[in-house]
Amino acid sequence: MKPVVVEHAIASADSKAPLVAAGLTRRYGQREVLSNVTLRLEPGQVLGLLGRNGAGKTTLIQCLLGLCAPDEGESWLWGTPSLALTDGIKQRLGYVAQTPEAFGWMTISEMLDFVAPFYPQWDHDYVRRVRERGGISVGKPLAKLSPGERQQAAIIRALAPRPDLLVLDEPAAALDPVARRALLRDIAEHAASWGCTVLYSTHIVSDLDRIASHVAILHHGKLLLHEELDALKERHLRLHVPAAIAAGLEPSLSGELSRHRLDDGALRLLLLCAPEAGLPAALDVPEVRRETLTLDDLFVEVAG
């Protein structure tokens, strides 16, 4: 697998961009868990941060939100350094940690009634709707609920204040399929209703297909790919090249991401090509079978 060239927008403090990171690097002892990550989110984007377990997703999110300090690099929320966030910035931010632990002694109703007055834009209507939807025990303290219920409670608490930036660390991990679908719908609606920007980390590809506008793949602490989801699907092709044609092929093609030689001399190629540019002439023949890729396929090809 060749490294994928990630095209970076210029990364620096910018009061319009909800989130910018420049060269974030974080080490635990000798091990580099984040390597020079540069990232920029524009208002209204829904970025799915995809990575295998241990890829560095949580560390990246914690650095972005100022919950841990990077060894190198810097990041900003609306131009304010992550490590010096003001109360005004925090008011605009919704965050759901992987294992929410706050307010464990309260029931969900007590917790929501407690935090609501802190937020002028609190969405009482949304809270009423999700309560009616059920799925969370109302009588028990949060600490006694199942991990899925606790996660849902934390998501409601993060969405209800109508944040401008919503950061979710593996929010669907503990949810059943019904709750997961409901969560995706809520996020999509929030993003649409008031242009909320979303960063959503997951290792489950199917969570991203529905709502992400952009996808980034984090692998061993490096950002391998960051692109619009539609463009990603349209630009990647897998080709099956029969032996006769494979024999006469150049050793490296432009846009080639990977090449597997099969036992019979045939090739399996993964190519990145713009739809308008078309295929190299040698491959643009009926004998070469082309296949478009799902996000799942791509993730496996890039991070497998």
Partner 1 sequence: MDGIDFHIQPSAPEPIYRQIVEQVRRLVAGGQLAPGDVLPSVREVAATHAINPMTVSKAYSLLETEGVLERLRGKGMAVAARPAAAAEDARWALIAPALQAVARQARELELAPGEVLARLMRTMEETSE
Question: Of 131, 203, 168, 248, which is closest to residue 123 (Cα–Cα)?
Answer: 131
Question: Which of 106, 188, 266, 288 is the binder for partner 1 (CB under 8 A)?
Answer: 188
Check residue 290 for interaction with partner 1 (CB under 8 A).
no
Angle of helix 177-194 relative to helix 147-159, nearest 10 degrees, comes to 10
Q: Which is nearer to partner 1, 145 or 298 (CB)?
A: 298
Q: Which is nearer to partner 1, 83 or 188 (CB)?
A: 188
Question: Which of 14, 74, 110, 189 is the binder for partner 1 (CB under 8 A)?
Answer: 189
Count of residues that interact with partner 1, criterion CB under 8 A:
29
Check residue 177 for interaction with partner 1 (CB under 8 A).
no
Count of Cβ atoms closer than 10 Å to residue 31 Cβ: 8
Long-range contacts of 275-278 (CB under 8 A, 24+ apart): 275/234, 275/235
Q: Which stretch binds partner 1 (CB under 8 A): 146-154, 157-165, 258-266, 284-292?
A: 284-292
**Look-up of token digits 């890829």:** 55
Binding string, residues 236-275; x marks residues near partner 1 by CB under 8 A: ----------------------------------------
Question: Which of 25, 91, 258, 294 is the binder for partner 1 (CB under 8 A)?
Answer: 294
How many residues are there in the chain? 304
Q: Which is nearer to partner 1, 11 or 165 (CB)?
A: 165
Helix (H) or strand (E) holding 229: helix 229-235
Q: Which stretch binds partner 1 (CB under 8 A): 10-18, 61-69, 225-233, 276-284?
A: 225-233
Question: Which of 229, 267, 302, 303 is the binder for partner 1 (CB under 8 A)?
Answer: 229
Question: Which of 205, 217, 218, 303 is the binder for partner 1 (CB under 8 A)?
Answer: 205
Question: Which of 11, 17, 22, 46 is the binder for partner 1 (CB under 8 A)?
Answer: 46
Q: Which stretch binds partner 1 (CB under 8 A): 86-94, 121-129, 206-214, 264-272?
A: 206-214
Q: Which is nearer to partner 1, 4 or 293 (CB)?
A: 293
Check residue 97 for interaction with partner 1 (CB under 8 A).
no
How large is the C-alpha radius of gyration of the chain?
22
How many whole angstroms separate alpha carbon 159 and alpha carbon 139? Answer: 22
How many whole angstroms separate alpha carbon 32 and alpha carbon 92? Answer: 31
How many whole angstroms separate alpha carbon 162 and alpha carbon 175? Answer: 22
**Look-up of token digits 């849902």:** 152
Q: Which stretch binds partner 1 (CB under 8 A): 25-33, 100-108, 111-119, 293-301?
A: 293-301
Check residue 176 for interaction with partner 1 (CB under 8 A).
no
Residue 3 has what DSSP assignment?
A: P
How many whole angstroms separate alpha carbon 92 and alpha carbon 77? Answer: 10
HEC string of 136-185?
A: CCCCCEHHHCCHHHHHHHHHHHHHCCCCCEEEEECCCCCCCHHHHHHHHH
Residues that bind partner 1 (CB under 8 A): 44, 46, 181-182, 184-185, 188-189, 191-192, 205-206, 209-213, 229-230, 233-234, 286, 291-297
